[in-house]
Structure 1
Amino acid sequence: MTIIRQESFFSIQELYDMAPTQKYAAIIAGIDLDMIYHAVMKQSRFGAPESVNHPATITAYLIRFVERIPTIKDLVRRLKNDIAFRMDCGFRVDDPVPSEATFSRLTTKLSDTDILEQAQASVIRQATDEGFISDGTVAIDATHVEARDQAPTEKATKPKPAPKKRGRKSKDERDQWLKAEAEKAANLPLYEKPIAAQLDAPLGDLRDDVPQDPKWGIKKNSEGKNVFWYGYKAHLAVGAASQYILQSLFSGGQLNDGKAAIPLLKGLEERLSLPNLRYQTMDAGYDYTPIYTQVHQMGQQSVIAYNRRNEPEPDGFNQHFAPTCVREHAYRYDSFDTQYETLKYTQPKECKDCPLVNEGVCQKVWKIKITKDLRRYTTPARGSKAWKTIFKRRTSVERVNAYLKEYFQLNNVRYRTGQRAKVHFDTVALIYNASKLAADRINAQLNAQNIA
């Protein structure tokens, strides 16, 4: 009897079930601790000497998320009472245990730099170089993160607007009003402008101008009812196959999901090298023309659920914008011409027995350029089997969102300001990617041993 040797699959859960020493070493091995250490260490040799073991302190700060320790106070208590845990974090026997204030200063130093984003990019580069990331599809979505602090109850008193002058404005008054409105719109913050304004904005400005303070957010639950929460949003771009967090963005809860898509897309294009990437898939909350335009400029295809917004169906087309014959049977999607960016549709099956088939009433082939309307005409065509197959890959980002909340304390933000809360989010994303890289490396070793 032939023995079929199955490939090993070593999951993150199995990684977490390992002995602490092996588990910590495997996860921290993918993180460039030297880069983080040089960003937060004392820059001057003058002043009071420091007795803190900074590398071990940084390691303990990161391992807190691995061990799911809820607060810094609990982390300090664990370091004091568990000598084995203290040694696994890299502390020597004679090293003093860092205080809560030391960890607070570390958080402040991390919030003043983008070193955690650089460390996360380093993990992604390692995973790409080692062949663990070769995705053809990226899934983008957001998840809400509640703040620990209660929402402010006091209502800001708004000044009463000046009474409007009755009657029609004169030409001079209207020109002056239009000029004032144009200046007001031009001076709005980047994320209060329409999404189209982000197309020409550089990636650095898009990331620097993200509003991060906790605000009220709104979403629809499974029953279609509005649910409000006070806090933040975590926006992720996840590899559909590898399930690595390729790009991330942290914002206040009031930011529309669609306004985070272009910064994520530009980050994928400018910061990563993914030659196999072809599709960007998102839900109906991202159905905005500028997002389709950005994906098209990247030379990729959008697979985004259509949000009709009370728009009537166009005459001669079905709900998926495929052309229809005289008897309203939809034409079948056939292929896509990459050179001319044209969708090809062929006659429906029902037309074979149609008495009008030889009358020349219906044409045999339809060709539509996707640039006619990037939102309506996508490749694969909407409603096709290929489109539905790719759209199903979007669930990968929902799965990662659940992992981050369930196992990596994403929903345990305990900071009052958005800047420090972002440190928590960046650390969660970093630890998740490092854990994923560690699991993939162990899995590759097991497969190599099985082959040998």
Structure 2
Amino acid sequence: MTIIRQQSLFGIQELYEMEPTQRYESIIFAVDLDSIYLEINKQLRLGAPVELNYAAMIISMFVRIVERIPTIKDLIKRLNDDFVFKLNCGFLVSDNTPSEAAYFRVLTRLSDSKILEKEQEKVVLQAIAEGFITDDTVAIDATHFEARGQAPPKEEKPKSEPKKRGRKSKDEREQWLIEQAEKEANLPIFEKKIEAQLDVPLAELRAEVPRDPKWGVKKNSEGKNVFWYGYKGHLAVGTSSQYILQSLFSSGSLNDGKAAIPLLKGVDELPLPFLRYEVMDAGYDYEPFYEQVHRMGNLSVIAYNKKNESEPIGFDKNFAPTCFREHTYRYDSFDTKYETLKYTRPKEYSDCPLANEGICHKVYKVKITTDLRRYTAPARGSEAWKKLFKRRSAVERVNAYLKEFFQLNNVRYRTGKRAKVHFDIVTLIYNASKLAVDRINVLLNQQQAA
């Protein structure tokens, strides 16, 4: 019997086992350092000394993430103590080690610009151009991480005035509705209802995201509330390539669902010809998300959250039609041209005593646009739907990678502005590492073929 040997791919773990010089070069080569250098380079004669090696400082800040060095202070100590490490970071023999204040000035310049977001997009576009991102499914989820410093006490909601008993008069109700509409219109975009984001441009949504550290709450596996003070990272990940296609940094208090539409709009702007499905858990089960995905020409695979809703008569819990004896019709196919789900007779039809009564329809069709939330393609509960939903684990895997290998949960700054720089560097270096690994795999395959 012939033994077939399974080919193993070079992964991120193997990248970390390489020699430091090779590892740094492979990752940094995937990033356009010149653009970042020009963004922060000294243009004025006043202020910080111009003899600082800014290019090497940028590299060392990236290497700090790769080497899991906790703080800038520890990075400076490593540069002073390890001469080879200092050279690997791009410093010259004659260069003095920058001070902690110099590094913080660089961080301030980065926080005042959008260069890291632009470089993140460049890496993704480069990976698409080189054929490493060919995903047909994107998974969206959020992860939380704590802020540096002591958290303030949780604010108690002010007690509202007791409501007046009795029904309002017609004039009072009209006045109350006008006041509520004005109040809603004056709210920031992320405090309005989610559907208000549908027609807002992506650039405006990203600019309005709240970023200050706040108290957040999330239910754990036991159903209990877990509180933390800090931030959230929202990711849209290709389920096959596991690249971060879009990312969003926010306060910990922002509902996960309110970050989904900016992520979806960002994904829609990428040249992804094979993209077909968006996968999310039950926390994203809101009608505006289905609408946004439908506008993109894609299909939603989102777990259903009943929200105290009763099951419609004539349908099962997955909204598949049922026969007279409440047997479920079987999902058959989806017609993309007419956006129609097709169901066939239940498997119990052959033994049904009412089979010859003409009660049971042979085929049942329903357009998904009747209710985008209930009627998804593939149909809810079908094997095809379950298979697609399992791909959501890709975004959870990436979240774990960011925390374990890339220091996402090691934010050393007290302000959201600088914490966002940390988040942007982490996601940028993760994608750069993925691109480096894919390029190494291509070279290995070419060598094996030769």
TM-score (norm. length: structure 1): 0.96
Gaps of 5+ in 1: none
Aligned to 2:102: 102
Decide whether the 8 Å contact of 2:139 with 2:239 is kept in 1.
yes
Aligned to 1:420: 418
Once structures 1 and 2 are overlaid, which stretch shifts more, 169-178 or 254-263? 169-178
Aligned to 2:129: 129
Aligned to 2:87: 87
Q: Distance in 2 between matches of 1:41 and 1:132?
A: 33
1:354 Cα deviation after fit: 1.1
Q: Distance in 2 between matches of 1:155 and 1:334?
A: 52
Aligned to 2:443: 445
Q: Distance in 2 between matches of 1:305 and 1:48?
A: 53
1:125 Cα deviation after fit: 1.2
Q: Structure 1's 201 and 154: CA in aligned 2 closer, same or farther, altered over 3 A?
A: closer
Q: Distance in 1 between matches of 2:95 and 2:285?
A: 55
Quick one: which amino acid aligns to residue 323 of structure 1? P
Quick one: which amino acid aligns to residue 408 of structure 2? L
Q: How does 1:234-245 map to 2 (within 5 A)?
A: 234-245=233-244
1:419 Cα deviation after fit: 1.1
1:5 Cα deviation after fit: 6.1
SS in 2 for 1:230: strand
Q: Distance in 2 between matches of 1:372 and 1:215?
A: 39
Q: Structure 1's 167 and 313: CA in aligned 2 closer, same or farther, altered over 3 A?
A: closer
Aligned to 2:76: 76
1:384 Cα deviation after fit: 0.5
1:172 Cα deviation after fit: 3.9
Q: How does 1:353-432 map to 2 (within 5 A)?
A: 353-432=351-430
Give per-residue Cα distances to partners, 1:301-349, cap 9 Å, x unaligned: 0000000111111111111100011111100000111111100000011
Quick one: which amino acid aligns to residue 56 of structure 2? A
Q: How does 1:253-402 map to 2 (within 5 A)?
A: 253-270=252-269, 272-402=270-400
Quick one: which amino acid aligns to residue 250 of structure 1? F
Q: Distance in 1 between matches of 2:48 and 2:254?
A: 44
Decide whether the 8 Å contact of 2:48 with 2:102 is kept in 1.
no
Decide whether the 8 Å contact of 1:8 with 1:447 is kept in 2.
no
Aligned to 2:27: 27
Aligned to 1:215: 214
Identity of aligned residues (%): 69
Q: Distance in 2 between matches of 1:187 and 1:319?
A: 39
How many residues get paired?
450
Q: Structure 1's 318 and 10: CA in aligned 2 closer, same or farther, altered over 3 A?
A: same
Aligned to 2:433: 435
SS in 2 for 1:389: helix
Instruction: Give the CA RMSD over aligned residues.
Output: 1.8
TM-score (norm. length: structure 2): 0.96
1:126 Cα deviation after fit: 1.2
SS in 2 for 1:75: helix
1:8 Cα deviation after fit: 4.2
Quick one: which amino acid aligns to residue 257 of structure 1? D
1:176 Cα deviation after fit: 2.8
Q: Distance in 1 between matches of 2:173 and 2:333?
A: 52
Decide whether the 8 Å contact of 2:143 with 2:233 is kept in 1.
yes
Decide whether the 8 Å contact of 2:154 with 2:215 is kept in 1.
no
Decide whether the 8 Å contact of 1:40 with 1:109 is kept in 2.
yes
Gaps of 5+ in 2: none
Q: Distance in 1 between matches of 2:223 and 2:154?
A: 29
1:167 Cα deviation after fit: 6.0
Aligned to 1:190: 189
Q: Distance in 2 between matches of 1:157 and 1:361?
A: 57
1:148 Cα deviation after fit: 2.2
Q: Distance in 2 between matches of 1:312 and 1:327?
A: 19
